Structure 1
Amino acid sequence: MRNRLGRECLYVPSCRLGLYVALRHWCRPGGRVLMSPVNDDVILFVVLAAGLRPVQAPLDPRDGSIDPRAVPDAVWHGLSAVLTTNLYGNPDPAPGLRARCDALGIPLLEDAAHAIGSRVGGRPVGSYGDASVFSLSKHTAAKTGGFLAVADPALRGALEEARDDLLAPSRLSSELAYALRPYAEAGVRGLRLVRAARAVMRLLGMEEREEIRMPLRADELKQAMAEAPALGPFHSWVRVDMHDYRIAPGAARHSRTARLLDRLDDRLAAHLAGTRRLLASPWAAAGPGPVQPLFRVPLLVEDRDAAIAALARHRITTGYLYDPPLDAYASGLFTDPSPAPAPARWFARHALPADPLQADRIIAVLRKSGARPADVPAGCRLGGDGG
């Protein structure tokens, strides 16, 4: 990954832990961080755990990327950092955000969990920020691990020490479960026991959300915020769906992750081919720039829930939904709302994240079900008057 990005890279057990390390290093507690409202709620809690105030950004309704033109000047000048999302692999406008952060003297941090193969401005996503975090559980399907990439290699030692201070010891039971999981999942798929398996995963705490968003638990969250910055008080929120997020990896994890990472280029080529097919479908709204090897393609569907149900009847699971936006989910108690919330609300309601590796099956099901494309309404136009 150092060769791919041209940056020093530090392994972390999870993207979320790498992000926490980066936020604690580059941002003083009490600062304000511009971020996307269409993102995993875990990321909101990581920002809060770092003692920071999330500020929700306006979005491009075509692909969910940040729309800097709709951010008012007053918001820009109150920020301590900008955190990109690169949702589903669609790049945020990193060159412009880099220039804006440089002018303001604040750090740019890139969350590239979905974008390990994406490029913007002729460079890889993750090569613009002061730091960037990647997930190895997405494109590689390793289901563990990530890395933190930094512009200044001299910082590696301090960041490694900060990471190690947060790690929990490796456990034999955790390593054994990780080693056996691929075989168990293959057996479940072969026996068509997906529903039963997901029920078991929920019982074991490996899949904790019954709805798209996890329960906020506002009163408990207020108590946790009084102890920020600290990861411990936020553990029950940050660990959701990944209880091993801060466990030191053992040999099994390292071996499988390295093996899958060796196949990354083939995986990216398959994602790129599937992305092209999905973007040629009636439900796609191509964003700016070249086609990327997207982790998921956000198809825009009029009745998204009906489309999800149709796919489920053909045993196609839809994940990575982020509805409602974080400012509607968390309210003004825990985040500053977007100054232009309509595009994010519309996108979150209509985006159907489609796996490029199942492009042909998804297109066939949507056609058969009569799913109608959703057109971006006039009230969700791009850009604003705030620079």
Structure 2
Amino acid sequence: MVSAYAELEGRMRDRLGGRECLYVPSCRFGLYLALRHWCEPGGRVLMSPVNDDVIFFVVLAAGLRPVQAPLDPLDGSIDPAAVPEAVWQGLSAVVTTNLYGNPDPAPELRARCDRLGIPLIEDAAHAIGSTVGGRPVGTYGEASVFSLSKHTAAKTGGFLALADPERREELAAARDALLHPPRRTGELAYLARPYAEAAVRGLRLVRAARATLRLLGAEERAEIRMPLRAGALTRALPAAPALEPFHSWVRVDMHDYRLGPGPGRLRRTTRRLARLDDVLAAHRAGTERLLASEYGTPGNGGVQPLFRVPLLVDDRDGAIAALARSRITTGYLYDPPLDSYAGEAFTDLSPAPEPAARFARHALPVDPRRADEVLAVLRTAGIRPAHLSPTPGGAR
């Protein structure tokens, strides 16, 4: 087990220029470890309101109060210039999102966190191949978390990367204390999942495919956001920090998020990670084509190998329906923003919510490997681009 972890960790360490890496069963699990290690319960954490709701519940499970940040409406990145000084002064940490692989302004956020004496934690689940300021995303924070469920499609695993290697032993012990032991049934289900999904999709049994995903804990949402269940959440909050009271929220779409990996899972993950450079090249090429289209937005520097490219469309529901008719599924939607979803009972509201709301309403996340298919469908269906202006005062 240790040797298998070491091989995966070594490969990721090389990608991050020598930054210490700790294998974790999921990005959300790694983020929980980081928040518990660097933040005292009761602290306030700046985060993006256009984000997976699971991450919101991870912050709550860590005993912290989410604070929703203003965003740039063109790419969904945090807009530091729009965060009021009073908000900065009340923070315990900043958590980036790097939405779809578009980097948050880590150099600016790093400098701000240094002045405040608070940690920067980078959620790089979508950004394993992205760069910012000439460095890989994930090399600015005290900690960063990566997912192997996204670009590598391993459907399991991730990394907690550390700026200070001397913290590794303590965090490894905390990880091991929270892990559930590997289960034979879980291992068999994981190994069978790709074949089951391929079979039902190959037969064009869409409803059966969705039922299979639900059975495997990979799809549990009737809507974009999971039900908040405000009453149950209110009752869970006093028990934080702890994972168990928040398990029903944190596990959504990934029931094995804290399951220790068996040998089969580790072997598949290692093979997938070894092919990552080819995958990133394909994502980068597709991203370039999509951003150059009428639906794309100008980038802040070179083209990134985005996990999903957020095309900006006037009628997103119409675009999703047109793509569905061509058997192209749209996922990774994060609408409405978390402050609208959760309300001020559970989060500090964004001081400038409209840019995030506009981005969330018009962003159509597209797999860049299907760029040409998607553009053909949107143009044939007469889907018009949305023209959003940058945040007033935004410097980027």
TM-score, normalised on structure 2? 0.95
Question: Is 1:284 aligned to 2:301, yes or no?
Answer: no
Give the corresponding residue for 2:4.
none
Provide the rounded CA distance (Å) in 2 between the counterparts of 1:58 and 1:287.
19
Give the corresponding residue for 1:267.
279
2:238 paired residue among 211, 222, 226: 226
- The structural deviation recorded for 1:58 is 0.4
| Equivalent pair of 2:201/2:209 in contact (CA under 8 Å) | no
SS at match of 1:340: coil
SS at match of 2:343: helix
Runs of 4+ in 1 over 6 A off after TM superposition: none
Range that drifts further, 182-191 or 338-347: 182-191
- The structural deviation recorded for 1:335 is 0.3
Provide the rounded CA distance (Å) in 2 between the counterparts of 1:10 and 1:309.
41
1:167 paired residue among 152, 174, 179: 179
Q: Which amino acid aligns with 1:182?
A: P
1:102 paired residue among 101, 114, 119: 114
CA displacement, residues 92-134 of structure 1 (integer Å, 9 cap, x when unaligned): 0000100000000000000000000000000000000000000
Task: Let me know the Cα RMSD of the aligned residues.
Answer: 1.1
2:220 paired residue among 208, 219, 235: 208
Figure out how many residues of one structure are paired with residues of the other and give that number. Answer: 383
Provide the rounded CA distance (Å) in 1 between the counterparts of 2:287 and 2:321.
22
CA displacement, residues 269-306 of structure 1 (integer Å, 9 cap, x when unaligned): 00000001101111111231211000000000000011
Give the corresponding residue for 2:229.
217
Question: Is 1:68 aligned to 2:80, yes or no?
Answer: yes
SS at match of 2:288: helix
SS at match of 1:188: helix
Provide the rounded CA distance (Å) in 2 between the counterparts of 1:310 and 1:195.
18
1:22 paired residue among 31, 34, 40: 34
Q: Which amino acid aligns with 2:233?
A: L
Provide the rounded CA distance (Å) in 2 between the counterparts of 1:203 and 1:231.
23
Give the corresponding residue for 1:93.
105
| Equivalent pair of 2:77/2:104 in contact (CA under 8 Å) | yes
| Equivalent pair of 1:83/1:109 in contact (CA under 8 Å) | yes
Q: Which amino acid aligns with 2:280?
A: L
- The equivalences for 1:321-336 within 5 A come to 321-336=333-348
Q: Which amino acid aligns with 1:172?
A: R
CA displacement, residues 202-256 of structure 1 (integer Å, 9 cap, x when unaligned): 3554311100000000010011101001111000000001000000000111000
Provide the rounded CA distance (Å) in 2 between the counterparts of 1:42 and 1:79.
21
SS at match of 2:345: helix
Give the corresponding residue for 1:311.
323
SS at match of 2:365: strand
Question: Is 1:248 aligned to 2:272, yes or no?
Answer: no
SS at match of 2:45: strand
Give the corresponding residue for 1:53.
65
Give the corresponding residue for 1:184.
196
SS at match of 1:113: coil
Question: Is 1:297 aligned to 2:309, yes or no?
Answer: yes
Structure 2: gaps of 5 or more residues: 1-11
Give the corresponding residue for 1:366.
378
Provide the rounded CA distance (Å) in 2 between the counterparts of 1:356 and 1:277.
8
Provide the rounded CA distance (Å) in 2 between the counterparts of 1:66 and 1:137.
24
Question: Is 1:375 aligned to 2:387, yes or no?
Answer: yes
Provide the rounded CA distance (Å) in 2 between the counterparts of 1:335 and 1:234.
16
| Equivalent pair of 2:295/2:312 in contact (CA under 8 Å) | yes
- The equivalences for 1:330-349 within 5 A come to 330-349=342-361
Identity of aligned residues (%): 76
Give the corresponding residue for 1:147.
159
Q: Which amino acid aligns with 1:227?
A: A
| Equivalent pair of 2:73/2:389 in contact (CA under 8 Å) | no
Provide the rounded CA distance (Å) in 1 between the counterparts of 2:204 and 2:133.
44
Provide the rounded CA distance (Å) in 1 between the counterparts of 2:325 and 2:121.
40
TM-score, normalised on structure 1? 0.97
Provide the rounded CA distance (Å) in 1 between the counterparts of 2:265 and 2:288.
32
Range that drifts further, 2-11 or 115-124: 2-11
Provide the rounded CA distance (Å) in 2 between the counterparts of 1:362 and 1:69.
34
Give the corresponding residue for 1:3.
14
Provide the rounded CA distance (Å) in 1 between the counterparts of 2:89 and 2:113.
10
- The structural deviation recorded for 1:382 is 4.6
Provide the rounded CA distance (Å) in 1 between the counterparts of 2:58 and 2:15.
27
Give the corresponding residue for 2:6.
none
Provide the rounded CA distance (Å) in 2 between the counterparts of 1:86 and 1:151.
18
